[in-house]
Amino acid sequence: MAASNKSSFAALTIGAIGVVYGDIGTSPLYAFQQVFVAGHVGVTPENIYGILSLIFWTLTVIVSLKYVVLVLRADNNGEGGTAALLAKASHAVRDRPRLRRRLLALGMFGAALFYGDGVITPAISVLSAVEGLEIVSPHLKEYVVPLTLVILFLLFVVQKRGTADIGKFFGPVMILWMAAIALLGLIQIAAHPAVLLALNPYYALRFIVVDPGIAFLILGAVILCVTGAEALYADLGHFGKRPIRYGWFCIVMPALVLNYFGQGALVLKDPKAVANPFYLLAPKWALLPMVALATLATVIASQALISGAFSATKQIAQLGYLPRMRVLHTSVKETGQIYLPLVNWALFVAIVLAVMLFKSSEALGAAYGIAVTGTMIITTALTYYVVRYEWKYPLLLCIVATGSFFVVDLAFLSSNLLKIMEGGWFPLLIATAIFIVMVTWKQGRRMLKATLAKDAIDLPSFLEAVFVNPPARVAGTAVFMTAEPGRVPNAMLHNLKHNKVLHEQNLFVTVRSHEVPWIGMNKRLEIDSLGHNCWQIAVHYGFKNDQDLPRALEQTRGRGCDVDPMSTSYFLSREIVVPTMGAGMAPWRQKLFAQMHHAASGAADFLNLPNNSVVELGSKIEM
């Protein structure tokens, strides 16, 4: 048993290194170089020691202390990520409705920033890897952008096939990558061991004190060394805390520090190497293999982020901030392996725009950072409310524990805001557009719900009236979907009006999505009898559960209303939204909501209903 546990733990740790650390593991390709790119920092020994010290202590404070030690503790039933943290924080302040609404808005903007990061990350990662060809031969420079676009296209094409087959290679490849970058760095450190003096925070503090203005400016580049730190928390549910922590402290952080310090030692010896210190670490014979390995590593990093975008979109939709989308499962074993065609190709188009607009990792470095630091500061803010109101720690301790991280995050965010005109506008534009879509959908659904409630008929009273002089009963079960329990669904009214029949058994089903990751099958259904073989059923899902209504209704067996799949029909109401003036939203937002509502994936697909058993009846609703 002990050997089996060790084997499982080792497999989880290797998997975590492949999925969780792909992004931060490939940051040495561009982070150290970006500090010197703008020309604000001279390539002097004092500055090199200062930058290395800043990088080491940024990794230590933001990743090791904030994420690995503190934030990983704030799991939501074992799950992590912005949606899970938001659900936990909003639940902690559930008795403060105004504060809860503000936290929900803040958390959704954090989720929107994640998509901005999701566009820049694959673009800068793959570009920086392919740019190694310029070191092999300057004549290959013109092929960098086209080759990057080809690699990205192939990456997005294979998404619909899933990662079940190739995913098992992610961990071993990333461990090989970590070993390679550590070895390259170690060779240079061995030749110039004095560079290790930069582990002392004195050098970072001296760099800041000597020229605080320049130090503030270059924080926007230093933050690139922790891109992908959010993945430690986002993938918590897949691997657990121990494998993620072990992978960081024992493998990933040592490899990153060795490589960064190796780059510093190389530039101390040859200041011209600052043009591309990562690839110049490698001997000439190893350049092409390193370009190939780097490209593979950045593809893995991008794959992890794309998968994360699919998962986040599904969770946000189930929380009610995005319309239903077509979700395809790419694995019969792993429910978390999903593919969303709309998200996949929208991401691809945005990434192609980023590559074509910026054309180099150096230019993309200016755009990178705002989305990352914005997400980090929102994570810190949400963590405060969990620590204070969920864990109920003393106020002073909460302020000290999260306030220090907030100050650090704010410093990095402020520095990155200076780069808005240089490219920072791009991820901010993406995040703002997605945030507008989220709040428009949420507000539109609330308004639609209120409109439907005005004309709603009380279900028990309606059934009592119907059964005074009941229509003809036909064999089988009718499942009527209704947004609110206790109200007559439009689909039932249309069925009675046009078909003039009532099924032998009638179920009025309301699907509820909750701000928790998982709800077990033992808590899936609530069943109440309405008499006359009619039943009110509430079906409960967490935001990570797959919504499969026929499977949920299997639990009705033995509870008075057995459902036979072969004789069950599902009646759905399909509202066509008609925007009207002065309805509480700007006209353009009303039109946006109407378009999203029209384009939303049908409830039948979302609830996994059998196509040959669905009857959809529509009606126009003026909102």
The tokens for 563 are: 């459902």
Q: What is the mean pLDDT of residues 12-34?
A: 89
Residue 448 lies in a domain: no
**Domain shared by 375 and 461, yes or no:** no
Among 37, 36, 34, 60, residue whose Cα is nearest residue 47 = 36
The Cα–Cα gap between 206 and 216 comes to 13
* pLDDT number for residue 50: 96
A 10 A CB-CB count for 419 gives: 20
Task: Note whether residue 7 is domain-resident.
Answer: no
Q: Which residue has the tokens 């999903």?
A: 338
pLDDT reported for residue 333: 55
Number of C-beta neighbours around residue 578 at 10 A: 11
More reliable by pLDDT, 579 or 609 = 609
Helix (H) or strand (E) holding 373: helix 370-385
Give tens-digit pLDDT for 475-529. 999 999 988 888 999 889 888 888 888 999 999 999 998 878 889 888 999 999 9
Average pLDDT, integer, range 550-560: 88
Q: Check if the beta carbon of residue 422 is closer than 8 Å to that of residue 436.
A: no
91 exposed, middle or buried (CB, 10 Å; 0-12, 13-18, 19+)? middle
Helix (H) / strand (E) containing 479: strand 472-481
Say yes or no to pLDDT of 8 above 90.
no
- Following CA atoms 99, 102, 108, 110 in sequence, which dihedral angle do they give, to the nearest 10 degrees? -90
Average pLDDT across the chain, whole number: 88
What pLDDT, on the 0 to 100 scale, is given for residue 370? Answer: 86
C-alpha torsion sign, points 173, 352, 438, 112:
positive
Give the count of domains, the chain.
Answer: 2
Element (H, E) at 477: strand 472-481
Sign of the Cα pseudo-torsion (234, 236, 237, 238, in order): positive
CA distance 13 to 241: 10
Amino acid at 171: G
Q: Which of 36-45, 86-95, 352-361 has the least mean pLDDT? A: 36-45
Q: Which two tokens stand for residue 336?
A: 């978390």
What pairs with residue 503 in β-bridges? Answer: 474
Q: Residue 568: left if φ>0, alpha if ψ -120 to 50, beta else—which one?
A: beta
pLDDT (0 to 100) of residue 346: 93
The per-residue pLDDT for 309 is 85
> 167-191: buried (b, 16+ CB within 10 Å) or exposed (e) per residue?
beebbebbbebbebbbebbbbbbee
For residue 473, what are the β-bridge partners? 502
In this structure, the answer to whether residues 367 and 258 fall within a common structural domain is yes
pLDDT of 581 higher than 80: no
Rounded to whole angstroms, the Cα distance separating 589 from 436 reads 9
Number of helices and strands in the chain (H, E): 27, 8
In angstroms, rounded to a whole number, what is the distance separating the alpha carbons of residues 560 and 230?
48
pLDDT confidence of residue 604: 83
- Is residue 259 a contact partner of residue 280, using CB atoms and an 8 Å limit? no
Tell me if 600 is assigned to some domain.
yes
Distance of alpha carbon 472 from the chain centroid? 51
**pLDDT confidence of residue 331:** 62
Last residue of a domain, one of 443, 478, 502: 443
Q: Does the structure show a pLDDT above 60 at 68?
A: yes
Same domain membership, residue 354 and residue 400: yes
Residue 329 φ then ψ, to 5°: -90, 125
Task: Please give the average per-residue pLDDT across 55-74, as a whole number.
Answer: 94
Local structure of 476: helix, strand or coil: strand
Q: How confident is the model at residue 332 (pLDDT cuts 50, 70, 90)?
A: low
Of 449, 513, 453, 483, nearest to 320 by C-alpha is 513
Query: What mean pLDDT comes out for the span 282-299?
Result: 92
Q: CA 523, 105, 367: angle at the middle one, nearest 5?
A: 120
Q: Is the pLDDT of residue 470 over 80?
A: yes
pLDDT tens, position by position, 138-182: 888 889 999 999 999 998 988 887 665 566 788 899 999 999 999
Residue 558 lies in domain:
455-622
Say yes or no: 226 and 146 in one domain. yes
Task: Please tell me the predicted confidence (pLDDT) of residue 135.
Answer: 86
pLDDT band of residue 1 (cuts 50, 70, 90) is very low
**β 338-339/328-329 pair status:** antiparallel
Examine the domain organization and report whether 164 and 220 are in the same domain: yes
What band does 546 get if pLDDT is binned at 50, 70 and 90?
confident
* Owner of token pair 């991008």: 302
Closest CA to 50 of 227, 198, 151, 167: 198
SS3 content of the chain, % helix, strand, coil (to 5): 70, 10, 20
Domain membership flag for residue 449 = no
> Backbone phi, then psi, for 41, in 5-degree steps?
-110, 120
Q: Taking residues 114-125, report their average pLDDT.
A: 87
At 15, is the secondary structure helix, strand, or coil?
Answer: helix
Q: What span, in angstroms and rounded, lies between the C-alpha atoms of 338 and 311?
A: 7
Q: Are 137 and 256 in a shared domain? A: yes
Concatenated DSSP letters of 550-587? HHHHGGGTTTT----GGGEEEEEEEEEEE--TTSSS-H
Query: How do residues 233-243 score in pLDDT, each as one tens digit?
Result: 887 877 888 99
Identify whether residues 361 and 399 lie together within a single domain: yes
Query: In this structure, are 344 and 462 located in the same domain?
Result: no
Same domain, 276 and 144: yes
- Same domain? For 439 and 459 the reply is no
Residue 225 domain flag = yes
Residue 8 belongs to a domain: no
CATH code, 318 = 1.20.1740.10
- Are both 496 and 424 inside the same structural domain? no
Last residue of one domain, picked from the residues 405, 423, 443: 443
- Percentage of the chain with pLDDT > 90? 49
In a domain, 6, yes or no: no
Give mean pLDDT, residues 444-456. Answer: 84
Single out the residue in 443, 472, 489 at which a domain terminates: 443
Candidate from 59-63, 535-539, 586-590 with smallest mean pLDDT: 586-590
Q: Does 110 share its domain with 245? A: yes
CA distance 433 to 425: 12
Query: According to the model, what pLDDT value does residue 361 have?
Result: 83
**Dihedral, 527, 529, 534, 535 alpha carbons, nearest 10:** -10
Give the residue with greater pLDDT, 532 vs 184: 184
250 domain residue, yes or no:
yes
Higher pLDDT, 166 or 396: 396
